[in-house]
Amino acid sequence: MDLATIEKVVAFVGALIVFAFALVGLRGEWPKNGLDDNVTKVLLGLMAFGCVLVVLACFGVLPHGGGGA
């Protein structure tokens, strides 16, 4: 197993954990309505989206064509 694979495995597992906790945090935040709470909702949501991107990267869905030329 080369370094890149290890990195991908760690990233994948980490992304799932972070995604889960981000969603739990988001659910806790959802009923609140202050300005800071609303901004946090948006930012936590985007962070969860970032985890999705990481998962996609781990499976090589993105970038298309596997990089390089």
Q: Which stretches of the chain bind other proteins, using CB under 8 A?
A: 3-5, 7-8, 10-11, 14-15, 17-18, 21-22, 25, 28, 34-36, 39-40, 43-44, 46-47, 49-51, 53-54, 56-58, 62-63, 67-69
Q: How far is CA 68 from the centre of its chain?
A: 24
Q: Measured from the CB of residue 68, what is the shortest distance to other proteins in angstroms?
A: 6
Q: How far is CA 18 from CA 23, 36, 59, 60, in A?
A: 9, 21, 17, 20
Report the residue number, 31 or 67, with the smaller CB distance to other proteins: 67
Q: Measured from the CB of residue 15, what is the shortest distance to other proteins in angstroms?
A: 5
Look up residue 51 and give its amino acid: C
Tell me if 37 sits within 8 A of 29, measured CB to CB: yes
